[in-house]
Amino acid sequence: MSAETLGLFRSDPWLEPYKDAIEGRFSYVVERENTLTQHGMQSLSDFASGYLYFGLHLTQNGWVVHEWAPNATAIYLTGTFNHWTKNEAYRLQPIGNGNWELHLPHDAVNHEDMYKLLVEWQGGAGERIPAWSRRVVQDAHTKIFSAQVWNPVKSYKFENETFIPTTSPLLIYECHIGMASQDEKIGTYEEFRANILPRIANDGYNAIQIMAIQEHPYYGSFGYHVSSFFAPSSRFGTPDELKHLIDDAHSLGIAVIMDIVHSHAVKNELEGLGRFDGTNYQYFHSAADRREHPAWDSLCFDYGKNEVVHFLLSNCKYWLEEFHFDGFRFDGVTSMLYYSHGLGESFSNYDNYYNGCQDGDAIAYITLANKLIHEVNPHAITIAEEVSGMPGLAAKIEDGGYGFDYRMAMNIPDFWIKTMKEKKDEDWLPSSIWREETNRRSDEKTVSYAESHDQALVGDKTIIFWLIDAEMYWHMQADDRNATVERGMALHKMIRLITSTTINGGYLNFMGNEFGHPEWIDFPREGNGWSYKYARRQWHLADNRDLKYYALERFDNEMIRLILSIKNFQATLLQKVWDNDGDQILAYMRENLLFVFNFNPTRSFTDYGFLVPLGKYKVVLNTDDKRFGGNGFNDDAVEHFTQPDMLYASEQKGWLKLYIPARSALVLQLNQKNDEHQCSFIY
């Protein structure tokens, strides 16, 4: 396929000068796929089935162990079944290409036995957790991690085998199992399934994005420093309990997206892949400057190795097939795309994307991962967490893109935090807000979100805490009038409303932020006395009708329901009606909904006019509604009729005059055309 036929150029003619680079990337992806599939002798899905071969498996003839460790000189299986001894009966045999094998009788190991590999190499040896382990647990007393045999007599059987996600639009409730507990502890899969899933369903979200599923030795890493890529974190429960959670989510109509980390791995050798076979470069780059991530204190995969691509692609298929995840949010894609990991790059023009500093092997892996995922499950959802704006990331592979379904709109949360930190209320300009909310490639779908969990994780604050701060401790009673709290609540609702209703793909909220969960996120660590106080969610705040948190959650519920009331909301025409930075007024339409925002902190406007389609408009959502903790200055029961203007008669437009209180937003629905006797013409 030539560059001229790639759809990427048809959708963006500005890419034409870079057609050689784009065509070269596309050709390299085809070349890598041909190599991996032996030029079509097998499918990509067949190739990515390593998890069915490697690791520990029970067969009709007994147990079999396979491991890839090309530098090893000897490997022994050790565990509770042989008292952790180096035993010749448990010695793996080399079978070529760096692979090792061991066969054992049925009674050699049992369910819940602990085990590891003792790997020897020239000049050294070390205990290692098998790379393909499906279950890894930590001893409560010694804190040492070990693989665990997981072969229950009765394994979980899925009831929902044909679930198809709803993506019109995709409304994601991002969550973390451990911190979903209200108590100061680590929450479990079972608690989340029983207590939190019903809340999410009631809130109207149709997808959850679960963070920190892959096993990680340090809880405070939020799951970003993965050690065992095929093992669901045991600190939350068993693999079967995770399957039950996913099955129940599907029964509630909720898709389950997994945050998958293939951008790097933890350095740990005893728990992870570091020096697995005695070398630094088995899974990672040989050169130190490429192997070690300069910002994350982690190891970077060498995507140029077929064995590494096999490991990672198999990991994608494993989570889809074994756990019925509905897709992935790929973490750290920017870091994968560039030799610099995107650090210190401006990404101010297209030259930055095609200057030879891009990692072609990583790009090929990303593209093939997306192709594989959709080959395994055509309805799967893939999302790229990517900050540079690389063109084609969420474009079809056959068009020259990388195949993601969505990309995260990472500019939006950055914009809101920067605005709150650096600008006075009088300087919140509607033109800037509109530009930031809609600044995206027209040919790629995005997931918009108002605030990132990362901002609250790295010593910063949530949006609500930036807006209200310490006043939250004293003035969140429903009947308490406090200017700081009222300002914060008003802007919290407006920020969410404009972010969720300007989407072109999906909207995401991190759990608890919908009701203004107080303070920040801080996982247990030495610096806070290993406390769980800030690594939990205080659901009782949202459930208490006497607190303002209840009003904020009620608003979020109504906002989500409004979005769902319009078929394919994300695909409807988004059209700006008016913006005025002096007045701080913004208005736009989608279908028959008119959105009106007044960001002015002090001025309310009477009879403020907008030129809109003729008809009768009725308020269907008002951030200032008393039910949502507002002042209730508007009478939302009043119907508003347009006034025809002869100058715009051919366009079937007229003037809609509204009262717009300061710091508030209205959503009005166009219900029907005006009757002629209800209005007079303006000349």
Q: How far is CA 93 from CA 81, 103, 277, in A?
A: 20, 9, 15
* Alpha-carbon span 673 to 654, nearest angstrom: 11
CA nearest to 462, candidates 512, 531, 394 = 512
Catalytic residue positions, numbered: 331, 385
Q: How far is CA 505 from CA 96, 298, 366, 446, 572, in A?
A: 48, 32, 21, 5, 10
Q: Residues with Cβ < 8 Å from 80, sequence gap 6 or more?
A: 113, 114, 115
* Alpha-carbon span 146 to 115, nearest angstrom: 6
* Alpha-carbon span 645 to 500, nearest angstrom: 32
Q: Which two tokens stand for residue 209?
A: 């994005």
Answer for the pair 235, 187: CB distance below 8 angstroms, yes or no. Answer: no
CA nearest to 306, candidates 38, 41, 548 = 38
CB-neighbour burial class of residue 637 (10 A; exposed 0-12, middle 13-18, buried 19+): exposed
SS3 562: helix
| E strands present in 27-109 | 55-59, 62-68, 72-79, 93-96, 99-104
Half-sphere exposure of residue 683: CA atoms within 13 angstroms, side-chain side: 0
CA nearest to 354, candidates 374, 337, 332 = 337
Q: Which two tokens stand for residue 607?
A: 């009879």
Answer for the pair 670, 594: CB distance below 8 angstroms, yes or no. Answer: yes
